[in-house]
């Protein structure tokens, strides 16, 4: 199986030993504590599950700035985006060397992790601007990722962490949430050697399904890991439980046994386009995938990124040798009326736009909301039914 990034072994930060976990939970109740942002909580969950291995905690400002500019930390280690714990207020923390980090997304703000404080630094406006510009390629406050990043505090807590809880992800999605450790183990148990990963924050329509089949066939893969984001999205996106149900139905009916795993990870969407695509590839290598599908406008939003910027960044900006995972570069896929099958649009040069079954997201939402199933050339009827039931429930 492919090695984790920068290491021979995965380094999850969750404390699995029950006695140590119990002792740390008791200790946490005696420590100064702070409720972190949702983005920082997601970072902790990802580090706990080994997805961000070999990071051992939150970056300091120097490392975050270096990563934003060069995708390398001060010591040369590769990482695609700053992993920060930004808070509004630190006066109550005093001179504490250990701090309990509390979850903003669960009732009662339970302890998420314990931080060994290396530094508490104030981030300047200029530093926030630099990181925002480098990671998101825009300062526009209407960009949902920029808005979320800029809404955090300006005090960076850095240091190693011991993760004690996987937030609401393990509780709310017990059948889907998986750590990188668990996915690696299941890949090994299934006997897969070449594994392609598919990222999604949306239900999968016929074109997505066929793209996965296409990638598996062309790459000679034993298995597919459909890896869905379970964290916060922008308003209007379909919630995770509905996506989960729709994807599971598709796999049940249209994938061969032991060919696809449906899993999810606990993280808030950044909508950072190219930089987020690199982050996605990074943690897919850590979870054991040898290949990763990146299509048109991967992890994008609005018109902030070019259609294939998320593919180009791997050739133009990712340091050579930083990642071993191979990228399957896909074009937009759609049903061809001429060929009576789903194709990549760039592989059908004799087609015009009218030769494809193309529906906008707005149009599909309107149809589903009215109880009208999209055509079978666009969406499997069983998947469409789950989505129609969801939209009817909103009335």
Active site residue 105: no
Please provide residue 271's backbone torsions phi and psi, each rounded to the nearest 5 degrees: 60, 35
Distance CA 281, CA 329 (A): 12
The set of residues, in sequence order, having a beta carbon less than 8 Å from that of 225 and lying 6+ positions away, is: 183, 187, 195, 196, 197, 198, 260, 261, 263, 284, 287, 289
- Find the catalytic residue in 202, 286, 341, 380: 202
Tokens 């399904």 found at: 209
Active site residue 392: no
Nearest alpha-carbon partner for 114 in 13, 231, 37, 265: 13
Could you give the angle at which helices 274-286 and 125-136 cross, rounded to 10 degrees? 80
- Find the catalytic residue in 72, 77, 194, 201: 201
323, HSE (Cβ side, Cα atoms, 13 Å) = 28
Characterize 272-291 residue by residue with b for buried, 16 or more Cβ atoms within 10 angstroms of its Cβ, and e for exposed: bbbbbbbbbbbbbbbbbbbb
Nearest alpha-carbon partner for 37 in 138, 137, 139, 123: 123
103, HSE (Cβ side, Cα atoms, 13 Å) = 21
Tokens 């902790």 found at: 44
* CB-CB contact of 255 with 261 (8 Å): no
Catalytic site positions = 201-202
């Amino acid at each position: 199986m492919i090695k984790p990034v920068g290491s021979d072994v995965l380094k999850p930060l969750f404390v699995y030993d029950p006695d140590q976990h119990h002792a740390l939970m008791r200790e946490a109740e005696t420590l100064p504590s702070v409720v972190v942002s949702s983005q920082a909580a997601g970072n902790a969950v990802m580090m706990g599950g080994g997805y961000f291995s070999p990071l051992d905690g939150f970056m300091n400002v120097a490392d975050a700035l270096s990563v934003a500019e060069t995708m390398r930390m001060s010591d040369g280690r590769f990482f695609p985006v700053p992993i920060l714990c930004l808070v509004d207020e630190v006066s109550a923390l005093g001179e504490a060397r250990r701090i309990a980090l509390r979850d903003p997304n669960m009732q009662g703000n339970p302890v998420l992790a314990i931080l060994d404080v290396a530094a508490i630094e104030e981030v300047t406006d200029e530093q926030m601007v630099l990181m925002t510009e480098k990671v998101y390629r825009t300062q526009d406050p209407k960009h949902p990722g920029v808005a979320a990043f800029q809404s955090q505090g300006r005090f960076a807590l850095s240091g190693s962490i011991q993760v004690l809880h996987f937030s609401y992800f393990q509780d709310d999605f017990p059948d889907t949430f998986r750590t990188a450790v668990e996915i690696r183990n299941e890949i090994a148990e299934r006997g897969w050697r070449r594994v392609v990963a598919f990222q999604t924050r949306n239900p999968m329509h016929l074109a997505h399904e066929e793209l996965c089949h296409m990638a598996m066939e062309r790459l000679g893969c034993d298995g597919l890991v459909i890896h869905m984001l379970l964290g916060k999205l922008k308003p209007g996106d379909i919630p995770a439980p509905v996506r989960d149900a729709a994807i599971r139905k598709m796999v049940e009916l249209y994938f061969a046994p032991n060919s696809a795993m449906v899993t999810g990870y606990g993280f808030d969407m950044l909508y950072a386009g190219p930089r987020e695509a690199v982050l996605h590839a990074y943690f897919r290598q850590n979870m054991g995938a040898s290949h990763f599908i990146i299509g048109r406008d991967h992890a994008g939003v609005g018109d902030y990124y070019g259609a294939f910027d998320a593919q180009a960044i791997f050739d133009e900006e990712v340091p050579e040798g930083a990642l071993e995972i191979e990228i399957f570069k896909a074009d937009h896929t759609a049903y061809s009326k001429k060929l009576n099958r789903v194709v990549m649009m760039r592989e059908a040069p004799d087609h015009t736009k009218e030769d494809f079954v193309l529906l906008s997201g707005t149009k599909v939402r309107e149809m589903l909301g009215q109880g009208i199933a999209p055509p079978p050339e666009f969406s499997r009827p069983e998947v469409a039914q789950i989505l129609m039931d969801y939209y009817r429930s909103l009335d």
